Amino acid sequence: MPANENKYGLKRSVPAPIKREIRKRVGFGCVVCGEAFATIEHFSPEFSDAHEHSPDGMTLLCGTHQIGTTAGRLTKEQVAHHNRNPYCLKNGHPWAEMNVATGSVPVVQLGNTKINASVFLKIKSRKLIWFTPNDDPNCPFLFNAVFLASDGKVTLEINENIIEANPENWDVQTVGRTIKINSAPQNILLELELLPPNEIKIKRAKWSYGGIDVDIHQDGLVETPYGSLMGGDIRAGFVGLQIGSPPKLGRFYNGVCKHVLLRRN
Ligand SMILES: [Zn+2]
């Protein structure tokens, strides 16, 4: 029997549409605790006894609760109960905690542009990605961010290092250290990678706020109504990238820029 299939010849890999159906059904987090970094598990029957990938007998579990189930610390009946009453549908959001470290400086990468500032991105008067200093010596700063879809809905937020995704999204997928949100199979709203101990890399994103659209493309270009950032480093005491206002500062306010490549439309 090949290692990647069971005694009935069922392959371990689950088709993508079935995985998404299960993620969506349970609100995109571990059914027990809501942890967003979770994987699909067969529980009724277990994978070794399954003839097919039937979504009804499959659920989403984080590493801790998957190990607990395998070890027997969490029974099949308990998993079935949580599967019927998933954490994210009762408590609101799939979540994940960011790990930052003492001695590191918070950095956000928007596509190919690296930003080191207090407020990394602001559209008009609204802060969209920023950090706050923290008294805890083991956790010296707290990341905050809001990602908005074109209809104004929040797709994902970071509140003081806690990531919370909106369970109303069409799909929220976590792989390794990446979170990806889609509104349709080919329409990526957000793709962010956690780069501990101090960085977030935003590979794809779309913000719509106050009539201004900001789009991070697959090639790392940051497109705004006023021009596109192609890449580089921005270092600023306060605001790294200001788009839209305040008018006195111009449409872009980049603090001290280090080889920022800017293309005006
Ligand atoms: Zn869990």
Where residue 256 falls among pLDDT bands split at 50, 70, 90?
A: very low
Give the C-alpha separation, 66 to 21, whole Å: 19
Residue 31 φ then ψ, to 5°: -65, -20
103-115 pLDDT per residue, tens: 889 999 999 999 9
Q: What is the dihedral of CA 159, 197, 183, 125, to 10 degrees?
A: 50
Tell me the CA–centroid distance for residue 67 and ligand 1, in Å: 10
Burial class (CB in 10 A: 0-12, 13-18, 19+), 35: buried
Q: Structural domain boundaries of the chain?
A: 16-92, 97-263
Tell me the CA–centroid distance for residue 64 and ligand 1, in Å: 6
Give the pLDDT of residue 41: 94
Tell me the CA–centroid distance for residue 139 and ligand 1, in Å: 23
Give the pLDDT of residue 252: 52
Residue 174 gets the label, from left (phi > 0), alpha (psi -120 to 50) or beta, of: beta
Secondary structure of the chain in HEC code, one letter for each residue = CCCCECCCCCECCCCHHHHHHHHHHHCCCCCCCCECCEEEEECCCCHHHCCCCCHHHEEEEEHHHHHHHHHCCCCHHHHHHHHHCCHHHHHCCCEEECCCCCCCCCEEEECCEEEECCEEEEECCEEEEEEEECCCCCCCEEEEEEEECCCCCEEEEEECCEEEECCCCCEEEEECCEEEEEEECCEEEEEEEEECCCEEEEEEEEEEECCEEEEECCCCCEEECCEEEEEEEEECCCEEEEECCCHHHCCEECCEEEEEEEECC
Tell me the CA–centroid distance for residue 116 and ligand 1, in Å: 34
Tell me the CA–centroid distance for residue 206 and ligand 1, in Å: 30
Where residue 250 falls among pLDDT bands split at 50, 70, 90?
A: very low
Tell me the CA–centroid distance for residue 60 and ligand 1, in Å: 9
As a whole number, the mean pLDDT across the chain is 90
Residues with CB under 5 A from ligand 1 (ion): 30, 32-33, 35, 62, 65
Give the C-alpha separation, 108 to 194, whole Å: 10
Nearest to 42 by CA among 10, 9, 73: 10
Residue 48 has pLDDT above 80, yes or no: yes
190-211 pLDDT per residue, tens: 999 999 999 999 999 999 888 8
pTM of the predicted structure, to 2 decimals: 0.90
Q: Which tokens hold the place of 5?
A: 């299939």
N- to C-terminal Cα separation, the chain = 59
Q: What is the mean pLDDT of residues 224-252?
A: 80
117-152 pLDDT per residue, tens: 999 999 988 999 999 999 988 889 999 999 988 888
